[in-house]
Each structure stands twice: as structure tokens, then as C-alpha cells.
Amino acid sequence: MKGKNFALIGVGGYIAPRHLKAIKEVGGNLVAALDTKDSVGIIDSYFPDAEFFTTFEEFESYLDDFKKKKDEIHYVSICSPNYMHYPHINFSLKLGADAICEKPLVLNPIDLERLERKERETGKKVYTILQLRVHPSLLQLKSAIEKNENKKYDVDLIYITSRGKWYFKSWKGEIAKSGGIAVNIGIHFFDMLIWLFGRVERAEVYYREPARKMTGFLEMERARVKWFLSVDKEDLPELAVKQNKRTYRIIKVDGKEVEFSRGFTDLHTAVYQRILEDKGFGIEDVKPSIELTYNLMRMKISEPNRERIHPLAFSKLFKGGENV
């Protein structure tokens, strides 16, 4: 059986190697790749014969010619900066290809409605990468939650991942381009929470430095969630610092830790396989988390409520119950 043809936008980015690996492992063929920088030698490990371009015009022209003279482009994988996702998805659909876009799918919920219209007009699909939904440990947790229909859980979610000064001078430090920390860093986890525990009934934010750190509380159908996100190394707990770790990631459900760090970065292939089987995660799947993160970045800061703030967040962000 002949493999599907792929193009890839943003092949020089941090996340692109996982997409290259997934395309290879599902038997796909990378026809062409695009990036504004030319340090993309990683391609040679997967698709040494793929065409490569540093300007969008050349990339687009080549794909148009490929379609006319050779074959169809079935999928465009999008690993570009967050603010470019919407135009790149539009390009993919216009090309006549399904889009496979990294998170966040878009920054503004209104763009989801526009993409739904584009899907209907073109007959093509928009997919995204929700790899935590195929994580074995989390699938097991979801099964356990569904068996206890009337139980409401207490959940702690902490994700601290140290970033250097470069981060804040890149597009990731610009709120208009990244969406801010709730979107750029938190989107994985907020989608996971909604998938596991149902819709959000109430949300509060107690502290927000838009590009750097946030903490808040979610009342969900099946859970009460204290969450803390940060890219500041000063927020790492003492144990992580002693172990010389730059990332601290933990989720506890009723005080019991759920291990999902192992395999966290190796699930793209499983998501790609679902897409090829027409079972991929689409616009409707991501809508609740896009709406939530958009609102979290804009809602009024609530008065600190120690009962609803994770102790680590409280100790790092507040003194005597006040913002520092």
C-alpha cells in the first residue's frame, strides 16, 4: 500500500522531530518542508530526499507543481509558531490537504468557527495533536473515573519548566504571538483535565504574569482542580533543585500521583495513526480548552483563596495572602 504524502511547515522547530518520526513510522512520505532558518539537518535522519525551502512562496509553488505533475498532498503538518497556525491551516485546506497542527490549534476561539466553515467548503479536515489523550496511564485513569460516576475528585496540577532569557525575547514571550502561558504551556493540561473530568463550571485566577506564571482554580463536573504553571526556575520545588532538574511536572488525584512523564514525548505516532484511520482529534475536541485558556488569560484576578491555591504556588507567589 502506497504511503500518504506529507508537507511540513516549521521543520526547524523544537517539536518538528516528533512529527518527522511519526510520519516515518506511519509509512508516510515527506515531499517538502519549510522553515525560515536552514539549520534543519534533522531531516536527513528521516527523509533525506525531501525538498526544503526557506521562503513560503517557493514552498507553495513547489507543492502546486507537485500536485499538477506528480501526486496529491494528503496532509500538511504544522509546527510553526502559535500565531501562524491559523493562516497555515487555511493554506493547507486551500491546497486540498488535511491539516495536522500542533497545539494550540488557534489563539482565538472565533477562529475555530472560521475553520469549521473552511472544512465544510473544502471537504478537508483539521486535526491537532492531543497526545495525552492516548497516554496509557491517563487512559487507565479515565476508565477509573468513568466507573465512579458520582465521585468528585480533588486534583493538583503543577507544571514548572525552566526557560532562559531567550524565551522572553522570542515569539513565545510575546502574548499576541504565543497566547500567554495558559495557552503556550498549559494547553496540553487543560485539554487533559476537560477530557478527564468534564466541563468547567467555574474558573478563577489568583496570580498572573502573562508570559511567565499563573495559578488558579477550576471547578469541574467531576473535579476541583488547583493548578500552577510557570517557566521561572525560581518556582521549582527544593527537591527538583537538589536533583538538578529544570522541569517539575505532577498531577495528583485525591492525593495519589499519576505518572505520565514517561512516554509524554513519544505519543505523536499514535496520534498520527489515528488520523490516518480517520479517528483524529479535530476542532470540536479542542474547542473547550481553547475557550478556557483564552478566558483564563483575560479574566479578572480573584482575591487569593488559600483553600483553592496549591501550597507550592502559595509559597512561591504570595506573602501573607497578597501578591508579591
Predicted local confidence at residue 303, as pLDDT: 94
CA distance 35 to 1: 30
pLDDT tens for 54-76 read 999 999 999 999 999 888 999 99
Distance of CA 115 to the CA centre of its chain: 18
Tell me which architecture the domain covering 5-128 has in CATH.
Answer: 3-Layer(aba) Sandwich (3.40)
Helices 136-147, 187-197: axis angle to 10 degrees equals 30
Predicted local confidence at residue 264, as pLDDT: 58
Predicted local confidence at residue 20, as pLDDT: 97
Domain with CATH 3.30.360.10 in the chain: 134-261+281-323
Pick the CATH number of 134-261+281-323 from 3.60.20.10, 3.30.360.10, 3.40.630.40, 1.10.1270.20: 3.30.360.10
Predicted local confidence at residue 322, as pLDDT: 41
pTM for this entry = 0.93
Domain with CATH 3.40.50.720 in the chain: 5-128
List, for the chain, all residue ranges whose pLDDT scores fall below the cut of 70.
1, 261-265, 319-324
Predicted local confidence at residue 323, as pLDDT: 40
Strands 75-78 and 98-101, sheet pairing: parallel
| DSSP states along 161-227 | E---HHHHHSGGG-HHHH--HHHHTTHHHHHHHHHHH--EEEEEEEEEETTTEEEEEEEESSEEEEE
pLDDT tens for 201-223 read 999 999 999 999 999 999 999 99
Predicted local confidence at residue 70, as pLDDT: 84
pLDDT tens for 175-194 read 999 999 999 999 999 999 99
